[in-house]
Amino acid sequence: MSLEAPLATTCTRFTDATDAERAIRRCSAVVRIICGYCRSDAGGEVAVALVGGDKTTLGNNWNPPHISEAQSRLDQYWRQYLELTLIVKRGNR
């Protein structure tokens, strides 16, 4: 798998945010992974890995197109799982 390409062409659903964070820490390369968060009708949170890649050479120029792609993927994911409510998180909040 090339780090220049997104990690997946589909969204990955984790059982909770902690599972997503553990998966991110297991990466041996320095990558940016954009996650979305949803709350289920039962009250649990779901972390969704949306897009990832190596931003070493591009720096912050990597962000804008990938954030747009992540938003599109999260919207698509949310339409498939209507029992979920989107949660807005910024940074560690």
What string of pLDDT tens digits covers the 93 residues of the chain?
Answer: 333 334 444 456 666 666 766 666 665 455 788 888 888 888 888 888 888 888 777 878 888 888 889 989 988 888 888 888 888 766 655
Strand order of the β-sheet with 12-13 is: 12-13, 45-53, 32-39, 85-87
The rounded radius of gyration (Å) of the Cα atoms in the chain is: 13
Residue 2, pLDDT score: 31
What is the rounded CA–CA span in Å between residue 86 and residue 40?
Answer: 9
Under a CB-based contact definition with an 8 Å cutoff, are residues 77 and 11 in contact? yes
Residue 92, pLDDT score: 57
Reported pTM: 0.60
